[in-house]
Amino acid sequence: MSELHWKTAITDVQPNRVSLRGYPIDKLMGEISFSQVIYLVLKGELPSPEKGKLIDAIFVSSVDHGASPPSVLAARTVASTGAELNSAIAAGVLAISRFHGGAIEEGMELFHEIAGRMEEKGISEREAAADALKEMKKKKKRASGFGHRIHTQDPRTKKLFSLAEELGLAGKYVRIARAVEEELVGLLGKSLPINVDGAIAALLCELDVPSEIGNAFFIIARVPGLVAHIHEEKTRMRPMRKIHPQDYEYDGPQEKEI
Amino acid sequence: MSELHWKTAITDVQPNRVSLRGYPIDKLMGEISFSQVIYLVLKGELPSPEKGKLIDAIFVSSVDHGASPPSVLAARTVASTGAELNSAIAAGVLAISRFHGGAIEEGMELFHEIAGRMEEKGISEREAAADALKEMKKKKKRASGFGHRIHTQDPRTKKLFSLAEELGLAGKYVRIARAVEEELVGLLGKSLPINVDGAIAALLCELDVPSEIGNAFFIIARVPGLVAHIHEEKTRMRPMRKIHPQDYEYDGPQEKEI
Amino acid sequence: MSELHWKTAITDVQPNRVSLRGYPIDKLMGEISFSQVIYLVLKGELPSPEKGKLIDAIFVSSVDHGASPPSVLAARTVASTGAELNSAIAAGVLAISRFHGGAIEEGMELFHEIAGRMEEKGISEREAAADALKEMKKKKKRASGFGHRIHTQDPRTKKLFSLAEELGLAGKYVRIARAVEEELVGLLGKSLPINVDGAIAALLCELDVPSEIGNAFFIIARVPGLVAHIHEEKTRMRPMRKIHPQDYEYDGPQEKEI
Amino acid sequence: MSELHWKTAITDVQPNRVSLRGYPIDKLMGEISFSQVIYLVLKGELPSPEKGKLIDAIFVSSVDHGASPPSVLAARTVASTGAELNSAIAAGVLAISRFHGGAIEEGMELFHEIAGRMEEKGISEREAAADALKEMKKKKKRASGFGHRIHTQDPRTKKLFSLAEELGLAGKYVRIARAVEEELVGLLGKSLPINVDGAIAALLCELDVPSEIGNAFFIIARVPGLVAHIHEEKTRMRPMRKIHPQDYEYDGPQEKEI
């Protein structure tokens, strides 16, 4: 045991035995889903079936959003130079930063701050949201997780919230997110609806996920989408093509039923 | 429409509508699991329930394997410098390369080659495996996906194969992987059992996944594990510590039942 | 010309003609050094011969500092997995972050702030430094660019400052850096000498480089060092070895004269 | 001394003393240029003044080539998301791969192979080049380092070769590169002139640089260019803009004299 000896509480690896947060991995395999094991590895405990279902929906909601997000463009650009798959994925992940995907962490911090104001001052969601937004306005900061370039009624937000209601997981933070949405109308004179990042932020608060790993949920969800784009770039396009950031069209299958 | 106009078949994004490989994303949410949507986005079709279950088990099997793999060490090293979460993940992904995770793609190629020999020459799994291994030996190449530094009977391999049998998904490629394992004993005079990469390689062949994205399954599975290590590094360790690559111990929860 | 048309002031590329910030590149080649062209491309103007010489010394000072910095360990870890050269470099660059290399940008901001106080209040370097440090102490912030784990009299700092004196380039910011060093003794009761990052920070302020690209000077300097380590790892070590972060020794050539 | 003890021959770091390949770093500072120290750290020896001058010209030649190379587009895309400087640089470096920058390593291997044929068979540059190209044609491989999308007479190639002649450093490998150029005319029925990558490949062969680090010279040269683009993107453009890969114009200074 050297002076550099250290400890970790994630995974115990012994000859012919691997345990994840205490659970033998071969007992988890076939029993719980990938989403549930992600929750386990990040939070240290297995989710309830309801939470497991909600996490699945969160990951499904963010797996891909077409070819124009900068993470996809960075990944395709690198893939186009003949780079290895993992290099192209890494480039895509590097683009999931403050203005792209970063709204989850910032949204969670806002919702926590509003919750803190409610408790401290004994005020309502609307009052606390109004206070927080006024203060942000003074500092010229914008609320993260509201408004979308393309969607006015994001189908993902709607589904995430209705599912959370059904599963009994929509509580204080969903109410806070809605209070912010309502207060923003008065403040800005126009509607800036909760976007998918804002909805995920509220739900991760409900699930008691630390805000510092909020963006990780987006990154984990989006890596498979990046892989699909990288593979399409490598197999369908010629190397070193100039990749137009918006002049493309979808030519995949027509709308199907599950 | 410019001269750079291009086409993609992955996701169709319209105002207030997002469709993944033809399926409206809000219809997928709450209905299918994250693993299943990964299969959908990569393969272009929904998996059967059996395939969905097997894919879940593949992802669960590879979510983490302790702190010593180079991807974890690279990610923790970068995290320790105060870098953002996504930078540390990217560094980890860059370490999932030829000798770490790369065995899946190489294993798939070997199994496909053996399948090709069987068909072409009308020979058995064992005969084709023997031929392929002899040729590799001449070129001083080693079979990827066999042998493990720590495990002699990897619990993950065993579970993956038993699950595939149960689900009716263990076919030609599982037989080929076993034939290689058996032939290796004779060739090397010692046992080099199928490791988890080799097992995943065989199963991805069964699922008709292109070998070029074989490693992507490992990367997708491991990103959540990297996030857990990065978060532990940032919250439990002091910045810029010297990270010993093997002198650490597990101090998480004792073995639990699900 | 599309709606996405944009402008750049760095390089003009025409058939058989390439101009860098207005200078034909083939006229620069053979006439000015790499360091000088780096200054040109970053600042938009050619440096004087004196400034050119100082920049050379800055880059030389930071090209390598042994195998223990996290950038080297991250790069070697990735190289050890069989990754491409550029992937290993990228991993190394990702480790040059807040606590490793980041002191240049933070040091520059501190020195600018002190210069601002001097001008605003008509006070001396020492007085302004004392004020700034007191305020930082209240916020529990530490002065970046002072103190070193190994060196008490860093030979690189000494040389950088003596060279700047000789070249007539040591002015207000070098005085400010020294004032901070002196004030720190009183404040902390021990000496925390200017380190190489702090010295570079002061000199980049003298050269009127924007602080936002201060760290870039370190990154540019260190990439060649990373390449040397990656190449040594790939040619001298076996793949996937466990890389101890400090138990190594130097076995290169004995001390030589130029 | 643990079982993981290892050795490195690059830099010796002792308290108050840093030696690079045997040379005290403070003796190098102010005496030799950044280019020369790069050569030292990579090759283990100081270059002659002539070699030092040629290396400077090589680095100057490749510092930037406008905004359309994929490394610049990847770096700008990541910068545009609000990412840190080092993340954007890393993304740019990941794009310097097989089809972008990779021609140097491949060119060096081709020239070495031709030199090997000459020696083995006692034939001329032209004969050996013709043989090598014929064999490549059979395997449907193209000669790396010849032809350019924009330049028919690349000013950088011309200058690199004339400088190498002047400095007495143009020998066998420059002759081989020219022989390949000449043979290509006959083989393809059109001229495919040596491009800047091909010229650098020939000169790095003359300097006895290992081909495995050939691309490193391009990466080292281009990182400052990437920094200039990242800084311009962050200071001149709005975040998350759509970056058109070719519809841009240069609006920097008019052509100047040195």
Residue C58 C-alpha, separation from nearest chain D C-alpha, in angstroms: 8
Residue in B86, B96, B242, B248 to test binding to D, most D beta-carbons within 10 Å: B86
Residues of B in contact with D90 (CB under 8 A): 87, 90
Residue A190's pLDDT is 87
Residue A258's pLDDT is 86
Phi, psi of A205 (to 5 degrees): -65, -45
- Chains touching chain D through at least 3 C-beta pairs below 8 angstroms are A, B, C
B223 touches chain A (CB under 8 A): yes
Q: How far apart are CA C209 and CA C59, in angstroms?
A: 14
Strands D6-8 and C248-250, sheet pairing: parallel
Q: What is the ipTM of this complex?
A: 0.97
- Both tokens of B36, joined, read 């299943």
Lowest mean pLDDT among A95-99, A178-182, B98-102, D128-132: B98-102
Write the CA distances from B50 to B36, B47, B54, B165, B176, integer angstroms.
Answer: 11, 8, 6, 11, 21
A80-94, A129-143, D146-160: which has the highest mean pLDDT?
Answer: A80-94
Residue C6 C-alpha, separation from nearest chain D C-alpha, in angstroms: 5
A86 touches chain C (CB under 8 A): yes
Is the pLDDT score of B184 beyond 90? yes
- Interacting residues of A33 by C-beta distance below 8 A, sequence separation 6+: A52, A56, B33, B34, B35, B56, B60
Look at residue A228 and give its three-state secondary structure: helix
Is the pLDDT score of B131 beyond 90? yes
Residue D14's pLDDT is 95
Cβ contact C77–B70 (<8 Å) = yes
D57 touches chain C (CB under 8 A): yes
Residue A66's pLDDT is 97
Residue B239 C-alpha, separation from nearest chain C C-alpha, in angstroms: 8
Is the pLDDT score of A1 beyond 80? no
A4 touches chain C (CB under 8 A): yes
> Using one digit for the tens of pLDDT, what is the confidence trace for C195-253?
999 999 999 999 999 999 999 999 999 999 999 999 999 999 999 999 999 999 999 99
Q: How far apart are CA D177 and CA B16, in angstroms?
A: 57
Nearest CA in chain A to D82: A98
Residues of C in contact with A75 (CB under 8 A): none
> Using one digit for the tens of pLDDT, what is the confidence trace for D176-228?
999 999 999 988 888 999 999 999 999 999 999 999 999 999 999 999 999 99
Per the prediction, chain C carries an average pLDDT of 96
Q: How far apart are CA B99 and CA D245, in angstroms?
A: 35
Is the pLDDT score of C1 beyond 70? no
Residue C189's pLDDT is 87
B81 touches chain D (CB under 8 A): no
Question: Could you give the percent of chain C with pLDDT greater than 90?
Answer: 89
Q: How many residue contacts between A and C have a Cβ separation below 8 Å?
A: 17
A residues 59..78 contacting B (CB < 8 A) = 59-61, 63-68
Beta bridge partners of C7: D249
Is the pLDDT score of D1 beyond 70? no
Is the pLDDT score of D132 beyond 90? yes
Q: How far apart are CA C246 and CA C236, in angstroms?
A: 18
Cβ contact A245–C86 (<8 Å) = no
Percentages of chain C per state (helix, strand, coil), in multiples of 5: 55, 5, 35
Is the pLDDT score of D50 beyond 90? yes
CB B42 within 8 A of CB B62: no
- Chains touching chain C through at least 3 C-beta pairs below 8 angstroms are A, B, D
Strands C23-24 and D17-20, sheet pairing: unpaired
> Using one digit for the tens of pLDDT, what is the confidence trace for B214-230?
999 999 999 999 999 99
Lowest mean pLDDT among B97-101, B175-179, C108-112, C203-207: B97-101
Look at residue C102 and give its three-state secondary structure: coil
Phi, psi of C11 (to 5 degrees): -130, 135
> Using one digit for the tens of pLDDT, what is the confidence trace for C96-150?
999 988 899 999 999 999 999 999 999 999 999 999 999 999 999 989 899 888 8
Lowest mean pLDDT among A119-128, C150-159, C232-241, D13-22: C150-159
Smallest Cβ–Cβ distance between D84 and the set B4, B84, B245 belongs to B84
Nearest CA in chain C to D1: C247
Stated pTM of the model: 0.97
Neighbouring CB atoms inside 10 A of B228's CB total 26
A82 touches chain C (CB under 8 A): no
Residues of C in contact with B70 (CB under 8 A): 77-78, 80-81, 240
Residues of B in contact with D86 (CB under 8 A): 83, 87
Is the pLDDT score of B5 beyond 90? yes
Strands B11-14 and B17-20, sheet pairing: antiparallel
Residues of C in contact with A84 (CB under 8 A): 83-84, 87
Nearest CA in chain B to D82: B84
- Interacting residues of C199 by C-beta distance below 8 A, sequence separation 6+: C145, C154, C156, C157, C160, C161, C177
A204 touches chain D (CB under 8 A): no
> Using one digit for the tens of pLDDT, what is the confidence trace for B49-66?
999 999 999 999 999 999
CB B250 within 8 A of CB A8: yes
- Interacting residues of B206 by C-beta distance below 8 A, sequence separation 6+: B164, B169, B170, B171, B172, B173, B174
D42 touches chain A (CB under 8 A): no
Neighbouring CB atoms inside 10 A of D252's CB total 16
- Both tokens of D134, joined, read 């014929």
Lowest mean pLDDT among A76-90, B38-52, B85-99, B131-145: B131-145
Residues of D in contact with A74 (CB under 8 A): 74, 77-78, 91
Residue D38's pLDDT is 98
User: Is the alpha carbon torsion for C17, C18, C21, C23 positive or negative?
Assistant: negative
Q: How far apart are CA D11 and CA D95, in angstroms?
A: 29
- Both tokens of A17, joined, read 């035995």
Residue B135 C-alpha, separation from nearest chain A C-alpha, in angstroms: 27
Residue A5's pLDDT is 97
Segments of chain B assigned E as strands: 6-8, 11-14, 17-20, 23-24, 248-250
Look at residue A188 and give its three-state secondary structure: helix
Nearest CA in chain C to D13: C66
Cβ contact A4–C245 (<8 Å) = yes
Average pLDDT score over residue span A224-233:
98
Nearest CA in chain D to C217: D224
Is the pLDDT score of C24 beyond 80? yes
Write the CA distances from D255 to A228, B183, C11, C44, D68, integer angstroms.
Answer: 45, 70, 11, 13, 21
Residue C50 C-alpha, separation from nearest chain B C-alpha, in angstroms: 34
Nearest CA in chain C to A2: C247
- Chains touching chain B through at least 3 C-beta pairs below 8 angstroms are A, C, D
Residues of A in contact with D240 (CB under 8 A): 70, 99-100
C141 touches chain B (CB under 8 A): no
Q: How far apart are CA A137 and CA B191, in angstroms?
A: 68
A120 touches chain B (CB under 8 A): no
Average pLDDT score over residue span C154-158:
94
Write the CA distances from B90 to A75, B200, B228, integer angstroms.
Answer: 12, 23, 14
Q: How far apart are CA A235 and CA C139, in angstroms?
A: 54
C83 touches chain B (CB under 8 A): yes
Look at residue A101 and give its three-state secondary structure: coil
> Using one digit for the tens of pLDDT, what is the confidence trace for D239-253?
999 999 999 999 999
